[in-house]
Amino acid sequence: MSAGRKGLAANARPFRYGFFPVIAIGFLLFEEPGVAQAVAVTCWCALWPPAADFISRRGDATLNLRLHLAEVVLTCFLFAASGLPQPLLQAICIILVMSNALQGGLNQAAWTIAWCAPALAAGMLVGAPPAMPEPSSVFAALLLLVYCMLVAHVAFGRVLATHGERTRAAARNTRLQKYLPHTLARRVDADERPRLERRWLVIVFADLAGFTTLVERLQMEEVATMLDGYLQCIAGVTRKWGGALSKVLGDGALLVFGEEGNDSRRQLVAHALGCCKELDVELERLTGDWQSLGLPGSATVKTGVASGYCSLGDWGGGERLEYTVIGHPVNLASRLQDLADAGETLLCERTALLAEVPLSRVMRRAVKGLGEVGFRKIERLTGLEPRMREEQVRPEEEAR
């Protein structure tokens, strides 16, 4: 509610900047005020909008409502003391009451009337007493005032309801985006429907070695703590290297490099292997965190890497769609990850041709569904730096 009223206070700024100068211009053009009256009204109309803007920007919703009441008291007193004609004074009072009803509903409007009347009376006592208005004119002004108050109150309720819906929708959107790869979340924000396309990708399957056995000995709260830290680590490191966490499979993860299609194949392989290297480092740190919390076990990842053309985009139809990647490299990376031991990274032969790291000799093994496959094991990962770090350093070097 406070946030909605804060937004309403922001909406009042342009009305102040337009409303008060128009009053000053009309008063000077259609009346013949004295010098003191003209200076007082002109200065107030020129200085009050920026002063109110300055105060409202630094205040909360309650302060803004009090600011509106202060505006009513000071404006009514000054304009009544300056001898504004009755029709103009009535119009100003109606506008001020309606403005307050828009800010705080009928309760704020009632406070406005309660403060407006004595301020007008005090101003008339200080200035020249105005001529008594016609009864019909007073009745018309009151009728218009009541109507404007009701309209403003309805508008106030609808604005708050709309703001509440937008806030809830934004919260839901933020939560739902956490279930999506960050590359897809950007496309959803841009109203871009992910089309089904064929693209050359590097696929990494990562799995937390020995975690299934460990889960059987832990409480659910402990499992949740370990998995949360592990998946947060996977997501952060993958994004850092320009990849996307496409799918979470228990303690396993499917990582995709090349969705945005901005890098060469050799660069994509380097980014994928750099991600694997940093995962080893970060999981060692994560193991230390777990042990400091008294949790048993260690975080050691095993990974399988394959590359080639895959189909990427929306799959399914009707009420359920799945944004995923399908193709031979996906299946091959999954099988290589199954073959890997804890702490190992296995590459298919095609990916090994693009890798610029020390590799073992070619090994062959028959795997389910793919027959015999050739692969190589990474002996050592050195000389790899994250792409995001390069992008951050480069502007600083250019500035120097």
In this prediction, residue 396 carries a pLDDT of 39
What whole-number distance in Å separates Cα of residue 101 and Cα of residue 155? 9
In this prediction, residue 180 carries a pLDDT of 64
CB atoms within 10 A of CB 255: 28
H helix intervals, the chain: 2-30, 35-57, 61-81, 86-126, 135-177, 182-189, 211-215, 220-240, 265-292, 328-339, 349-352, 387-399
Instruction: Say if pTM beats, i.e. exceeds, 0.85.
Output: no
What whole-number distance in Å separates Cα of residue 328 and Cα of residue 203? 10
Residue 218: partners with Cβ closer than 8 Å, 6 or more residues away: 226, 295, 296
Residue 385: partners with Cβ closer than 8 Å, 6 or more residues away: 274
What whole-number distance in Å separates Cα of residue 314 and Cα of residue 339? 30
In this prediction, residue 187 carries a pLDDT of 65
In this prediction, residue 10 carries a pLDDT of 61
Residue 11: partners with Cβ closer than 8 Å, 6 or more residues away: none
With contact defined as beta carbons under 8 Å apart, do 73 and 122 qualify? Answer: no
The tens digit of pLDDT for each residue in 38-60 reads: 888 888 888 888 888 888 777 67
In this prediction, residue 115 carries a pLDDT of 85
How confident is the prediction along the chain (400 residues), in pLDDT tens digits per residue?
A: 444 455 555 666 777 788 788 888 877 877 777 788 888 888 888 888 888 888 877 767 777 788 888 888 888 888 888 877 777 788 888 888 888 887 778 888 888 888 888 888 888 887 766 556 666 666 677 777 777 777 777 777 777 777 777 777 777 766 666 666 666 666 666 556 656 788 899 999 998 877 766 767 777 777 788 888 888 888 899 989 989 888 888 778 999 999 877 788 999 999 999 999 898 888 888 888 877 877 776 678 899 999 999 988 877 766 677 778 899 999 999 999 999 988 889 999 999 999 988 888 999 999 888 889 999 998 865 444 444 434 333 333 333 3
